[in-house]
Amino acid sequence: MFIKFIKGIFTPAVNIMSRLWYWQKFALLTVLFTIPVGYALLSYTIQINKSIIFAEKEIIGVQYLSPAFALLQDLQQHRGMASLYLRGDTSFLPRLLEKEKEIEEDFALIAAEDKKFGQELGTVDTPKILQERWAVLGKNYTQLSSKESARQHTEFISDILTLIYLVGDTSNLILDPDLDSYYLMNTLVNTLPNLSETLGQARAFTLSVQDTKK
């Protein structure tokens, strides 16, 4: 019964093949084999192209975040030195001025990346707004108490961290489908900046509680 069923299925194909010339049979078999192989190659090519696009966006994110990480570190160092300066250690003034130049350079590098990739990463004009805010803080912090300076620096740094998280998200860095790469990128974009800021806030708090300028 089963054999008859199988024969019934293949009978039309056998009849067709028996009526064809040899070259026609070879041509038909070639087409029949080419279709699934071609489909598999097409699917593979599409997947490879998706992976390339995904990786290219990750590269963009790394380019953008490199000066952003430098800015984060420089702002944290500026916060600490400003606290010491406002507590009366005027020896930190030259280092503060030098650090402020470095911060301006960081902003310039970020602005250059934002000009190229801001539309794609959803950060258009954000660095410009942050730089304008920094200009105000950089000009006025010397008139503040150590505690208030640390507070305003911390609020500003929080916005820099928000920018870093946004770029990490929109550039696929923290969306990597490979588990090992995901953990690496998550550590780079989220864990390490958070840890760095937590330690920085602890240092700033230690200095501010000793502040005698109200």
CA 169 – CA 204 distance, rounded (Å): 29
CA 63 – CA 112 distance, rounded (Å): 10
The DSSP result for 32-85, as a single string, is HHHHHHHHHHHHHHHHHHHHHHHHHHHHHHHHHHHHHHHHHHHHHHHHHHHHHH
Closest-CA residue to 82 (of 68, 95, 73): 95
* Beta carbons of 87 and 212 less than 8 angstroms apart: yes
Residue range 22-45: mean pLDDT, rounded: 73
pLDDT at residue number 9: 56
Residue 141 scores a pLDDT above 60? yes
Residue 209 scores a pLDDT above 70? no
pLDDT at residue number 214: 43
Tens digits of per-residue pLDDT, 99-118? 999 999 999 999 999 999 99
- Coil, strand or helix at 188: helix
CA 104 – CA 108 distance, rounded (Å): 6
Tens digits of per-residue pLDDT, 145-200? 988 999 999 999 999 999 999 998 898 887 666 655 666 677 777 777 877 888 77
Tens digits of per-residue pLDDT, 37-63? 777 777 777 777 666 777 788 889 889
What is the percentage of the chain residues whose pLDDT exceeds 90? 44
CA distances from 87 to 126, 141, 213 (A): 33, 12, 7
- With bands split at pLDDT 50, 70 and 90, how would you rate the model's confidence at 20? low
Residue 92 scores a pLDDT above 70? yes
pLDDT at residue number 213: 43
pTM: 0.73
Pair of tokens at residue 66: 């490199």
- For residue 81, which amino acid is it? M
Residue range 135-148: mean pLDDT, rounded: 93
CA 4 – CA 2 distance, rounded (Å): 5
